[in-house]
Amino acid sequence: MQKIVQHLAAMAAVVLVGGLLSATLVRLAPGFGVDEQQLDARLSSESVQALRQARAGDRNLARFYLHYLGRALRGDLGESRTLNRPVRELLAQRLPVTARLVGLGLLAGWFCAVLLALGATMARRAACDLAATLLGAIFLSVPAAVLALLFVFANAPACLVIALVVFPKVFSYTRNLLAQSYDSPHLVTAYAKGVGPLRILLWHVLPVAGAQLLAVAGISVSIALGAAIPVEALCGIAGIGQLAWQAALGRDLPLLVNLTVLVTVITLAANWGSEFAGQSFRTSAA
């Protein structure tokens, strides 16, 4: 319970600091505080002055941050400059699309990585080791954006790009972890006593490696979310990755910083979730 409270407090601190950094970015960005209305030729100089006065409060960074935070607590995340729509509405609309894409990609990537890592470890041949290293190196070397372009060309599902981005990292980590587990003395003894490979895997390898694999699950969420930007932008999927790209091209900082804070919170939650799951797994395995 104490750990949960600690993690929640740390997450709140990250959101506050992230919010402050975001607000600072928005505040320092060129064009901040300039209202389009001020360019209206019909307005008198007094009216323009009044508009400037109304915006003057936001020039103080501390006051601006308090306003920003107050609005954020009420659920008002501001308005997108390029799309002219509330950021909250955009996030609510696009987050499920990205969640589905990333979720499917993670499932496919993990399934292939664990399966291949198990095969490569159990085969225990130099050729398998070499093939596995080369396969991992090649997939690690292709940018997610190129994979997305090739998948658009091949008319293949975009979630597979996420799977291919996640695959090499999970694969190499899982393979190393399994190789370490299989080399441990108690497993050598189990083999010598004639215990079957399936029983060894289920009873001796997975309980030990499982907790550490769960820790990688959290990291893979962050990798998949990062890959969602080029994938959604180039495959024309209306998720938060595409939104971030559009915001960057349009220099829509209010939208971009809110997206970054949101994605940071999701990543932190995923990391801590996997840490808790790993701990419970370790406890139940013991």
Residue placing its CB nearer to other proteins in the complex, 72 or 234: 234
CB 61, min distance to other proteins, A: 16
Query: Whole-number minimum distance, CB 148 to other proteins, in Å?
Result: 8
Residue 263 beta carbon to other proteins: minimum distance, rounded to whole angstroms: 5
Q: From the CB of 228, what's the least distance to other proteins, in Å?
A: 8
Name the minimum Å distance from CB 6 to other proteins: 13
d(CA 4, CA 23): 28
Between CA 176 and CA 168 the distance in angstroms is 12
The least distance separating other proteins from the CB of residue 121, rounded to whole angstroms, comes to 16
Give the nearer residue to other proteins in terms of CB position, either 218 or 278.
218
In the bound state with other proteins, the residue whose beta carbon lies nearer, of 87 and 200, is 87
Question: For other proteins, which is the closer residue by CB, 34 or 202?
Answer: 34
Q: Which residue, 100 or 199, is less far from other proteins as judged by CB? A: 100
Interface contacts to other proteins, rule CB under 8 A: 13-14, 17-18, 25, 28-30, 126, 129-130, 133-134, 136-138, 140-146, 149-150, 153, 222-223, 225-227, 229-230, 233-234, 244-245, 247-249, 251-253, 256-257, 259-260, 263-264, 267-268, 271
Residue nearer to other proteins on the CB measure, 201 or 243:
243
Scan for tokens 């293949």, then name that residue: 156
